[in-house]
Structure 1
Amino acid sequence: MKKSLLSAVALSAMVAFSGTAWADILVGVAGPLTGPNAAFGAQLQKGAEQAAADINAAGGINGEQIKIVLGDDVSDPKQGVSVANKFVADGVKFVVGHFNSGVSIPASEVYAENGIVQITPASTNPNYTERGLWNTFRTCGRDDQQGAVAGAYIAANFKDAKVAVIHDKTPYGQGLADETKKALNAAGVTESVYEGINAGDKDFSALIAKMKDAGVSMIYYGGLHTEFGLLERQAADQGLKATFMSGDGIVSNELASIAGDAVDGTLMTFAPDPRKNPAAKELVEKFRAAGFEPEAYTLYSYAALQVIAEAAKAAGSTDGQAVAEAIKAKGPFATAIGELSFDEKGDITRPDYVMYTWKKNAEGKYDYVQNP
């Protein structure tokens, strides 16, 4: 009798444990949660966590609840691969991330080999979706689209300027700078200076001196806000009067704290601000009530998990291959950043880059405002 009772208890425990295991769909959220780019990692994390909470409250995915598993890649490709392998070991089925293209690209190989769908809210290098992998998607645009907008704008609005094209030697930064250079050259503009700096550099005196000697008055930068802000501040301190432009890698309010007043007038390409979408009004207010401003990629991360959830429902399955096929075939999906459809490569079908200018707002703080 005692043996039967123990067996029954053990069986009940096994059923309870199995029920818990089966009731969770593990979604990895990967990005630079620490380090100089942690502001972007926070955007990816907060966006996905809020999306998971809202989807779970509405019944989850096919009756199962989402559980978020975090992975800190500190913007390092090797660490990103380590995070990817840990996600595989943990049983993660879907990934929202990574932030950097140079991390997303190698990590995606690990995910592809292990049946995991990856949707990045932020990695814009074309190679991410150009390699023919079945599992790579993004809710953002591509650098060839963004560079075309930037190059055309410079050619049209700075016709007599001597232009410098600077990048940080990363797949994202150099890729974006090169796409902008390509568009400039196609419009008949030849850059006066083309240089690469190293991510993490803090002293740009030699580069600034070179640009001053060349008479540069328009500087395009491919890279992230950390180095860009220092470059702007030091250029102003050293008397280089030029207009600065960059892309979506500087979409962080941290830029103003790094560059100071030198950020005033900075031009920037990014998608139309999703916070201004009337359909996202309640969601934006929810983030703000929690003390987090959902700028830049926050809503892109939220949208990535929405797409995963809706595609899994459409497929009636959480199998990676089935969900990937549904993402491509079952759109458009209603998301926090608008309706999204995907092509066979995994790119969104709407290219949407516009120009912004950094300027002081009514509170006296610098912010980016979409150009009319």
Structure 2
Amino acid sequence: MKTRYLLNRLALIAALSFAATPVRAEPLSVGLVIPQSGQFALLGQHVREAFQIWDQSNPGIYADIVEGDDGCTAQSGADAAVAMAEAGVDIVVGFLCTESLAAALPLLTEESIPVMTLTVRADIVGEEANRLGWKFYRLAPRSGAEAEIAADAIFRLWADKSFALIEDGAISGRELVEAIRVKLEDRGLKPTFVDNFRPGQDTQPSLVRRLRSAGITHVFVGGERSDMAVIAKEADYQKLPLKFMGGDALHAPQGENPLPDGTIAVLSDGAIPGPDAETARSVFEDHGLIAEGLRIPAYAAAEILGAVATRQGHSNGSVEDLLRQSTFSTALGTVTFTDQGERREPGFVLAILRDGEFTRMSIADAAQLRQESQ
């Protein structure tokens, strides 16, 4: 009896000791395929800095970080995929361009290496990945989500207004406005006026006259920030009071003509980080960097992969299992992925221009706009 008691005590002590031992992360080998030169090299630098800074603050989580070059061509994508496979990485982050991403995905899928893009928004990439079984994860927002958020904002804020949908004739502007129109009409709301305009002009007198004739008070512009500013300037000149809304193209430097205060924009959450990004902002500031460009989205990706590595330490799940089944708290806010690798959250937020700067629209801002509409 004493022997059995002693053995039971020893087993209990061993079990408690094991339970008290902190769970260690399963070190993750991360590949970064980013532009090393050319016009997108700065964005590549942002991704590199974010991962290096996170890695320094969280030693032992990543086994290593292996870099490859994204030249934004199909050939560079294929070459980078081969290099990542030879390096034996567990997951690749990057491929900032559609061409390189599309070329790399089938090759890396064959090697069972998932890919997470920070920038590619085209819905077709996700559709093809789902159809062909590619190991694809999108932290960037889907293009279609921009129209969904814009249509919802118009429905909630402008439903009782005489509003126009206008676009600049470019593929992006035309597709955005058409998607918004369809989504609104599915909800029983039709725009008062739909039109297009010639971009890059110094003035837009005929467009503004057409808006006046249609009795328009609110305008969604599918086009560049500079074109919206010209339209707003012309409307002011013709003494036509208009309220404006636009898409993510408004996330651009202010040009010669400012946008009017109160302009609403549908912006990517990475372009206008919220309170969840404060820790990341502080970390970047400690390194003398501003949280701009791709730094916040890349930092969020580093946080996600860090959580995956940690959870692998006490789970038999693969990297993909953990990506699909987990909820991640990141600098972009809560992030979850569908079984198809798409981010469940829209990835776009409403912003409003105050004193020349876009800030996330608050509940109070939305309430004020609704009150102004009554």
Fold in common (TM above 0.5): yes
1:371 matched to which residue of 2? 362
What residue in structure 1 maps to residue 340 of structure 2?
345
Q: Does 1:28 align with 2:21?
A: no
How much does 1:357 deviate? 0.6
Partner of 2:117: 120
Match in the other structure for 1:248:
248
| SS of equivalent to 1:209 | helix
What's 1:221 paired with? 221
The answer to whether the aligner puts 1:108 opposite 2:101 as a matched pair is yes
Aligned: 1:193 with 2:194: yes
Q: CA deviation at 1:231?
A: 0.2
Q: Is the Cα–Cα contact under 8 Å of residues 43 and 294 in structure 2 kept in the other structure?
A: yes
Name the residue aligned to 1:209: 206
Aligned to 1:335: 330
Any idea what SS the aligned residue of 1:270 has? strand
Distance 1:344 1:111 in 2: 20
Structure having the higher Rg = 2
Q: Is residue 231 of structure 1 aligned with residue 230 of structure 2?
A: no
SS at match of 2:54: helix
**Could you tell me whether the CA contact under 8 Å between 2:263 and 2:352 is conserved in 1?**
yes
Per-residue CA distance 1:280-316 (angstroms, 9 max, x = gap)? 4332122234444324653222212333454456568
Question: Residue by residue, what CA displacement relative to the aligned partner does 1:234-256 show, whole Å, maximum 9, x if unpaired?
Answer: 2234336533322334335x2xx
Give the superposition deviation at 1:163.
0.4
Could you tell me how far apart the structure 2 residues matched to 1:160 and 1:153 are? 13
* Structure 2 counterpart of 1:303, from 300, 319, 335: 300
Q: What's the CA shift for 1:28?
A: 0.9
Is contact 1:275-1:294 (8 Å) kept?
Answer: no
Match of 1:276 in 2: 275
Percent sequence identity over matched residues?
16
| C-alpha displacement of 1:61 | 5.0
Structure 1: how far apart are the matches of 2:301 and 2:266?
A: 21
TM-score norm. by structure 2 comes to 0.68
For the Cα contact (< 8 Å) 2:32–2:67, is it kept in 1?
A: yes
Letter in 1 for 2:201: D
Q: State the Cα distance separating 1:342 from its structure 2 match.
A: 0.9
In 1, the alpha carbon distance for the partners of 2:118 and 2:197 equals: 26
| Mapped contact 2:162–2:191 kept (Cα < 8 A) | no
Per the normalisation by structure 1, the TM-score is 0.68
Counterpart of 1:358 in structure 2 is: 353
Alignment partner, residue 65 of structure 1: 64
C-alpha distance in 2, partners of 1:349/1:309? Answer: 20
Distance in 2, matches of 1:44 and 1:302, equals 13
Measured at CA, do residues 134 and 191 of structure 1 come closer, stay the same or move farther in structure 2, by a change above 3 Å? farther
Distance 1:164 1:304 in 2: 35
CA distance in 2: counterparts of 1:142 and 1:356, whole angstroms:
18
Residue-pair matches, total: 311
Corresponding residue for residue 258 of structure 2: 261
Residue by residue, what CA displacement relative to the aligned partner does 1:307-364 show, whole Å, maximum 9, x if unpaired? 3454456568xxxx953344223x123422234221111112334644211111xxxx
- Specify the alignment match of 1:184 in structure 2: 184
97 and 32 in structure 1: CA distance in 2 versus 1, 3 angstrom threshold? farther
Q: Could you say which residue in structure 2 is the equivalent of 1:165?
A: 166
Q: Classify the secondary structure of the residue corresponding to 1:305.
A: helix
> Cα distance, 1:267 vs. partner?
0.6
Matched, 1:155 2:151: no
Is the Cα contact below 8 Å between 2:164 and 2:192 reproduced in 1?
yes
Distance 1:30 1:136 in 2: 19
Q: Deviations over 1:42-71 (max 9, x none)?
A: 466424522233225533555x22134453
Separation (CA, whole Å) in 1 of partners of 2:157 and 2:54: 44
Cα 1:337–1:117, aligned 2, differ >3 Å: closer, same or farther? same
Change (3 A) 1:140 1:315: same
Q: Within 2, Cα distance between the matches of 1:371 and 1:32?
A: 39
Q: 1:233 to 1:274 in 2, by over 3 A?
A: closer
Supply the AA of the counterpart residue of 1:234.
V
CA root-mean-square deviation: 3.7
Report how far residue 33 of structure 1 moved.
6.3
Q: Deviations over 1:64-111 (max 9, x none)?
A: 2213445354xxxxx4x3442342354375543455xxx43x433212
Higher mean displacement: 178-187 or 340-349 = 178-187
The alpha-carbon distance between structure 1 residues 149 and 54, as it changes in their structure 2 partners (threshold 3 A), is closer
> Is 1:96 equivalent to 2:93 in the alignment?
yes
> Which has the larger displacement, 51-60 or 113-122?
51-60
Secondary structure of 2:235 counterpart: coil
Distance 1:191 1:220 in 2: 12
Structure 1 gap ranges (5+): 1-22, 74-78
Change (3 A) 1:350 1:247: same
Paired residue type of 2:207: K
Which sections of structure 2, spanning at least 5 residues, go unmatched?
1-27, 364-374
